[in-house]
Amino acid sequence: MTTAQTIEIDVRTDEMLVNMGPQHPSTHGVLRLVLRTDGEVVSEVMPHIGYLHRCAEKIGENLTARQWVPYTDRMDYLAGMNMNLGWALAVEKLMDYQVPERGRHLRVIIAELGRIASHLVGMGAYGLDLGTFSPFLYAFREREKILDLFEEVCGARLTYSYLTVGGATADFPPGWLEKCEAFLDQFVPVIDEYHALLTTNAIFIKRTAGVGLLSAEMAIDYGCTGPVLRGSGVDYDLRRDGEPIYTSMYEGYDYEVICQRAGHYPKDQEYPPVPIEAVLGDCWHRFYVRMLEVVQAIGLVRQAMAKYRASDGSFGEPMKLNQKLPKGEVYLETESPRGQMGFGLVSNGTAIPWRARARSSCFCNLSVVSELCRGCLIADVPAIVGSLDIVMGEIDR
């Protein structure tokens, strides 16, 4: 006689191993996920990385600190400015150098614009992962304008190498701040479009709310950072909680860390309410944190522009290409759009670092994917991976 238990086992069929990637439309570059599936249900996800490894860190041991700057913006190629900033601050920490007031605000403007551009790609690509195409182009339309601003400032649209050790390679060209102001004014109403197309869209909520639940404990255990961590309700942002050399950059700025506290997000701006279906730590919250950070970044840029205008003097002096570094070891983490981006540097007193290392935020964020995808459907895998907003260039370096 067969019991219900045995019947259930009999009905189960063979599990199938499927390769999602490295050439797959929604793996954000060259991530390879091996899915163990039983029909539509995914029982296990194994991420495989290394397809975009370019030996960036080894190259860093053969170049001077400033020569390595162009390699940093090829790591997280969607937020090159923030990568430059991370490395520049790490080297500055070693040299015990403080950027002048004007350069500090210039860096805030550039870093926060970079954050907006990066989150726009994250948001648009997330729409693509869920099968809607238009938000992607809407996001790129606005990102294009930021790239135009960046191009005007440094001549490059993707790999900037603008923020560099000692300050920046150049000051803003005349009239740039007005253009930036005009862009922000024009950009604010567009965010409502994004909210209409994605954040509050019924199907979007259905696809993301309650999917890929990442508890705060798990997020901390796995070392998740950035919007992934804050999407789980952990109030942690290096711009406020980081090391003094980094937090001093944001001194005197009025902003609140975007994270749900006591069931609420900081109410400093108008934004759509959290749907009932959404649970803290799901894909929807991770997406939402990014959307709110875009608005927050606009505010920061506005403040920084006012402060930049008010300040005078030098914007910093870029270090010489072959300038000798003081002997020592240094490690500094900054809040890149994707999370905690750390740069480590060991110097033996020459111009070329003895060791140059990067701590990838996406690597840790990606490591939770096998936990999040256990027992989800195939369609949820892109939704979860997309909500982590990874950039393979940064993971593999």
Partner 1 sequence: MAHLLNQIFDWFAAWLGGSVANDSVAGYVVAALIYLALLLNLVAVGALVFIWLERKVSGRIQDRLGPTRVGGKFGWLQTLADGIKLLTKEDLIPGDADKLLFRIAPYVGFCASLSAFIAIPFAGRDFPFVAQHLNVAVFFVLAVMGLEVFAVILAGYASASKWSLFGAMREAAQVVSYEVPMGLCVVVPVMLAGSMDLVHIGDKQQGWFTNWYLFHDPFTFIVFWVYFTCGTASVNRAPFDLAEAESELVAGFHTEYSGLRWSFFFMAEYGSMLAVSLLAAILFLGGWNGPIPVASLLGLTWHNGPLVGYLGNFLGMLNVLAKAFLLVTVMMWVRWTLPRLRIDQVMTTCLKYCTPIAAAMFVGAALWHMTLPDRVFAGLLQSPAANRLLAEPLPGDSIQLDLQTVEAATIARGGRP
Name the residue among 361, 210, 195, 359 with its Cα closest to residue 278: 210
Side-chain-side CA neighbours of 145 within 13 Å: the count stands at: 18
Measured between alpha carbons, how far is residue 78 from residues 118, 314, 340, 389 in Å? 5, 28, 15, 11
Question: Could you tell me whether strands 41-48 and 163-164 are parallel, antiparallel, or unpaired per DSSP bridges?
Answer: unpaired
Tell me the C-alpha distance between 199 and 345, whole Å: 41
Nearer to partner 1 by C-beta: 290 or 359? 290
CB of 26 to partner 1, least distance (A): 4
Nearer to partner 1 by C-beta: 206 or 302? 206
Element (H, E) at 306: helix 283-310
Place of tokens 């490690």: 331
Collapse the DSSP code of 291 into the 3-class scheme (helix H, G, I; strand E, B; otherwise coil) and give the result. helix
Tell me the C-alpha distance between 198 and 124, whole Å: 9
135 contacts 106 by C-beta, under 8 angstroms? no
Name the residue among 314, 277, 96, 88 with its Cα closest to residue 199: 277
CB of 167 to partner 1, least distance (A): 37
Angle between the N-to-C axes of helices 380-388 and 101-129, in degrees from 0 to 180, rounded to the nearest 10: 180
Nearer to partner 1 by C-beta: 59 or 279? 279
> Contact positions toward partner 1, by CB under 8 A?
16, 18, 24-26, 39-40, 127-134, 137-138, 141, 197-198, 201, 203-204, 206-207, 377-382
Question: Could you tell me whether strands 41-48 and 16-20 are parallel, antiparallel, or unpaired per DSSP bridges?
Answer: unpaired
Nearer to partner 1 by C-beta: 134 or 350? 134
Please spell the DSSP secondary structure of 123-158, one letter per residue.
HHHHHHHTT--HHHHHHHHHHHHHHHHHHHHHS-SS
Tell me the C-alpha distance between 2 and 8, whole Å: 10
Phi-psi region of 226 (alpha: psi -120 to 50; beta: other; left: phi over 0): left
CB of 128 to partner 1, least distance (A): 6
| Length of the chain (residues) | 397
Name the residue among 217, 253, 247 with its Cα closest to residue 232: 217
CB of 199 to partner 1, least distance (A): 12
Q: In what order do the strands lie in the sheet with 355-359?
A: 328-336, 339-347, 355-359
Nearer to partner 1 by C-beta: 147 or 379? 379
Nearer to partner 1 by C-beta: 75 or 376? 376
Structure tokens at 6: 């045995």
Nearer to partner 1 by C-beta: 133 or 272? 133
